[in-house]
Structures are given as structure tokens and as C-alpha cells.
A = this chain, B = another copy of it.
Amino acid sequence: MQEILDASAPSDWRVPDPKNTLYLDLDSGQVVIELAPAFAPAHVANIRAMAKNGYWNGMSINRSQDNFVVQWGDPAEEDKDRKPMGRGTKPKLPAEFARKSDGLPFDRLPDADGWAPQVGFSNGFPAGRDPATNTAWMAHCYGAVGAGRDVAADSSNATELYVVTGQSPRQLDRNITLVGRVIKGMELLSVLPRGTGPLGFYEQPSQRTPIRSVRLAADVPKKDRVAIEVLRTDTPLFTDLVESRRNRRDEWYKHMAGHIDLCNVPLPTRAPPPKPVKPATAPKSKAKPKTKKR
């Protein structure tokens, strides 16, 4: 895989839109989430507004259930003294479990999947698709971020967000609104001590992990934004990368699987390579200027 990445061109990578990039800051470091307005426009709009309002600042991660999810939000969520969502938010949102697949980019995997008629990637998000119903939806792979809800399908308002930290719970696909995925810092969430209450909620407030802030990258001064690029999923290089993982050809492997699961496909990120620096004086070499520097 590394060989393939080393051979990548700048055009094989993309920079997530700051309007769709969320920073979750913990004492242990920063988690970066890419939001998916193509799948959950109403939830993403609420998340953007709540981040601007500082809604989650000072709240906590209240749940960590082994081999399943972590979840954050207002611990007083059920009470009447819960924190107001603030300006620009909607108290009630539609369920955004799936959308029309017409018009949605979809880089399909040829591999069989038990949960969906077709699987692939849409702008880098693992997704399922059903041509029979013209629908597509994000898939609950490791790192998927979703909006907790009650029994009613339209009972999520994006105040409570969860992240998948265990074996892909694909039974949740089309049952709950996913809003994006973690692109950096998963290891800060996956190691959180498991809660011992029902569903992995912490029994003592002191066991919760404090949230310093949740901010939209677009609301953060440019100099303070995280420099990160994500590998595109709509390129021949990505197809090669998937094949290199589907059938491992290195010496260690004795049996080629001939298959890869949607949630086993790596989605590499990187710090952008440094820009070439122009020397202060005219170079003596005849090297051509790089026209595609980033």
C-alpha cells in the first residue's frame, strides 16, 4: 500500500472543505471529523450552527461501549435544564437515513456485501446503494459519526453525536442519521475507558471525558486550522490501492482473500507535502518551475 501512496500525484488527494470539517478538542488531543452534507444536509446545518454557538464546549463524552460507540453531548439532555442549542439551530430535524442515489457520486466496489445491494464510496464516505429503490446511505464503518435518536425516526437534532469504535454495526445503516466520519484522531476516542452503566454510559460524572471545544474549521483562523489531505476515492490510484488490499501480494500472505469488505478499506490521510521553496537568488540549475505545486 505504501508503494502505491508514494506514487500518488497531488491530484489523488483532496483537502476537506473547512465548512465541512469539525474539530473536537479533548485534553488528549484533537479529533477531526469530515461532515457529509450530501447525505445529511439538515443535521450538518444544525451541527455547523451549534459549533458556531459553542454548544458542546465544556460538555463531555458520556458513553463508551466496548466494541460499539462513544457518544457525547449534554449530560442533562433529558432534563429541563438542558443547554439551549442556540441561534440558527432547528429543534426538530427530518430523519436523514438515506437519500436519492441519482446524482450522487458513487465509486462502487465490485465486492459482495451482505448488508447492501451495492457498496462503495461517495466523496470518500463508505456508503451503500440500492438501485431498485434509487437510494444511497452512509455505512456504519469504524469512525462513522452519527446523531443519536430516540424511538421516533425524526427524534435526532444532532445534539448527541456518536462515533463507531467497534466492529462495523451495519445493522444501524438506514436506521439512524450518519453525519460524517472521523478522519484524524480515532485513537483518542477508541481508548476511552468503557462505561459500566447500561449501554456503556459512565456511572459517575467524574468518569466522563471533558470536551474543550467543538469548532467548525471555517470558524477557526486559517493559521490555526489542521493541514490534512484525504485520499480521493474516485481515482485509478484508489482502485489500485483497494486491489492491493483485496489480494495482498507481499511475501507474508500465503492465501489471497479475493475479497475486501467495505469497512476494511483504508482511507488514508496525510499532512500536505511541503510546498517547494523558491531560492532567494536565481537558481543556477535549469530545473523547470513546478506548475502544480500545492
A residues neighboring B (CB under 8 Å) = 66-67, 95, 97, 111-115, 141-142, 151, 153, 166-171, 173-175, 186-187, 190-194, 245, 248, 251-255, 257, 259-261, 263-264
The CB with the most chain B CB atoms within 10 A, among A95, A97, A153, A190, is that of A190
Tell me the minimal C-beta distance from A81 to chain B in angstroms: 26
Q: Which residues of B contact A151 (CB under 8 A)?
A: 251-252
Contact of A170 with B257 at beta-carbon distance under 8 Å, contacts A67-B142, A151-B251 already known:
yes
Contacting residue for A192 out of B167, B191, B254, B264, CB 8 A: B191
Contact of A170 with B261 at beta-carbon distance under 8 Å, contacts A112-B114, A153-B254, A254-B153 already known:
yes
Q: Which residues of B contact A260 (CB under 8 A)?
A: 114, 171
Q: Which residues of B contact A194 (CB under 8 A)?
A: 187, 190-191
Contact B190 A255 (CB under 8 A): no
Contact of A167 with B170 at beta-carbon distance under 8 Å, contacts A186-B67, A190-B66, A259-B115 already known:
no
Complex copy number for this chain: 2
The CB with the most chain B CB atoms within 10 A, among A67, A171, A257, is that of A171
CA distance A253 to B169 in the complex (A): 13
Tell me the minimal C-beta distance from A264 to chain B in angstroms: 6
Contacting residue for A167 out of B113, B141, B254, CB 8 A: B141
